[in-house]
């Protein structure tokens, strides 16, 4: 199912993200975790492509398995910056063959090796190049892209970031998923600015439940997200008690989702990080709102 169909519905929908194993030997345990999340019947599941240290080779295996076994719509991520045209074309054919209708077109992070390499030799420089490639393929994909309420770290300023975002949408992105954020006001402010810039596609806020104190530094480093005092106090109070921190982190994420829905956002994506218990708890916290 194309996600555009889901976005037409007028109720809260929750989707979850999973990532492929970091090493081959973990494939079965990751597959099991993703299946446990699929059993919750989220509105869709996204499978990352080599992000956070996961390998890219299992993205399609996991996405196809979830779709076939649990009838959950899937969104396969694909990055382009370190790839050749041939590799990307082959991947597009594989996605088509797997019957996956939704693709998240990403540039991918610039590793130090890439940064040091000769950019004139790169075939893909930005996610927009992949969006165009996907549009040119003969598949009728629903294409998504990433966006950054707190600005992409490489952007000089928000105006420039939004200008390129508009170009990406105009090239064929039908929805945008946000980087994680911990203060909903940042999202509302971002929404106002992008709507003003003429970006009208659905925006899916990405919510990261922080369930242990070690995750905080990693999350900030990865995303550059602002940590509101309310969240810092929670980490100070519960950070040394794993069970309490997990409960507080899930409650914080749930609260963010309720506030988003109360303010007109219908589709929320949860960075569930291969943790079925966290996904299940958030879903059960929202059961009456979701009607599940
Ligand atoms: P782009 O859209 O290309 O933007 C990157 C930077 O370039 C921005 O500063 C932008 O303003 C600028 N820019 C864009 N177009 C142009 C242009 N034409 N000219 C000049 N500047 C331009 N990484 C993975 O490796 N695998 C994943 O599965 C993955 N999933 C993600 C999912 C989400 C929702 C998000 C938010 C990020 C994800 N990432 C993933 C991380 C992502 O690859 C990085 O954030 C990367 O640095 C940027 O990717 P992008 O697609 O946003 O790039």
pLDDT tens track for 113-150: 888 999 898 999 999 999 999 999 989 999 999 999 99
127 lines ligand 1 (CB under 6 A): yes
108 lines ligand 1 (CB under 6 A): yes
Task: For residue 179, give the DSSP letter.
Answer: P
Q: Does pTM surpass 0.85? A: yes
Domain ranges of the chain: 3-290
122 lines ligand 1 (CB under 6 A): no
Q: Cα–chain-centroid distance for residue 81?
A: 18
Task: For residue 182, give the DSSP letter.
Answer: S
pLDDT digit string, tens, across residues 63-95: 999 999 999 999 999 999 989 999 999 999 999
Tell me which residue of 77, 51, 68 sits closest to 143, measured CA to CA. 77
Give, using CA atoms, the residue closest to atom 41 of ligand 1: 108
Flag whether pLDDT at 5 surpasses 70: yes
Average pLDDT over residues 215-229: 85
Torsion, Cα 115 215 257 290, to 10 degrees, reads: 110
CA–centroid distance, 285 to ligand 1, in Å, is: 32
pLDDT of residue 243: 96
Average pLDDT over residues 44-49: 97
Query: Do 175 and 230 touch, CB atoms closer than 8 A?
Result: no
CA–centroid distance, 126 to ligand 1, in Å, is: 7
Q: State the residue for tokens 């063959």.
A: 97
Is 167 one of the annotated active-site residues of the chain? no
Q: State the residue for tokens 């992008």.
A: 194
Average pLDDT over residues 37-45: 98
| Token pair recorded at residue 151 | 């600005």
pLDDT of residue 216: 85
As its CATH architecture, domain 3-290 has Alpha-Beta Barrel (3.20)
> How high does pLDDT run on average in the chain?
94
CA–centroid distance, 152 to ligand 1, in Å, is: 8
Flag whether pLDDT at 163 surpasses 80: yes
Pocket test for ligand 1, best of 143, 164, 172, 194 (most atoms within 8 A of CB): 164
Flag whether pLDDT at 51 surpasses 70: no
CA–centroid distance, 114 to ligand 1, in Å, is: 14
């Amino acid at each position: 199912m194309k996600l555009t169909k889901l976005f037409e519905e007028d109720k809260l929908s929750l989707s979850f993200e999973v990532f492929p194993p970091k090493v081959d030997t973990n494939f079965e345990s990751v597959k099991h975790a993703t299946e446990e999340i699929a059993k919750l019947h989220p509105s869709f599941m996204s499978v990352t492509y080599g992000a956070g240290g996961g390998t890219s080779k299992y993205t399609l295996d996991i996405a196809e398995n979830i779709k076939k076994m649990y009838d959950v719509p899937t969104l396969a991520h694909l990055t382009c910056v370190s790839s050749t045209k041939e590799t990307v074309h082959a991947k597009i054919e594989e996605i088509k063959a797997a019957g996956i209708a939704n693709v998240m077109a990403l540039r991918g992070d610039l590793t130090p090796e890439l940064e040091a390499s000769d950019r004139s030799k790169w075939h893909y420089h930005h996610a927009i190049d992949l969006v165009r490639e996907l549009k040119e393929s003969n598949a009728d994909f629903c294409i998504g892209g990433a966006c950054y309420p707190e600005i992409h770290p490489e952007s000089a300023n928000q105006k420039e970031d939004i200008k390129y975002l508009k170009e990406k949408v105009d090239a064929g992105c039908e929805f945008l998923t946000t980087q994680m954020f911990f203060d909903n006001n940042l999202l509302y402010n971002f929404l106002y600015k992008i709507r003003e810039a003429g970006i009208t596609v659905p925006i899916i806020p990405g919510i990261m439940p922080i369930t242990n104190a070690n995750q905080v530094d990693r999350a900030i480093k990865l995303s550059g997200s602002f940590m509101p005092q309310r969240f810092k106090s929670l980490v100070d109070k519960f950070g040394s008690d794993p069970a309490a921190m997990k409960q507080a982190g899930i409650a914080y994420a749930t609260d963010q989702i309720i506030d988003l829905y109360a303010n007109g956002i219908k589709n929320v994506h949860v960075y569930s990080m291969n943790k079925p218990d966290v996904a299940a708890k958030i879903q059960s916290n929202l059961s009456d709102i979701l009607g599940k």
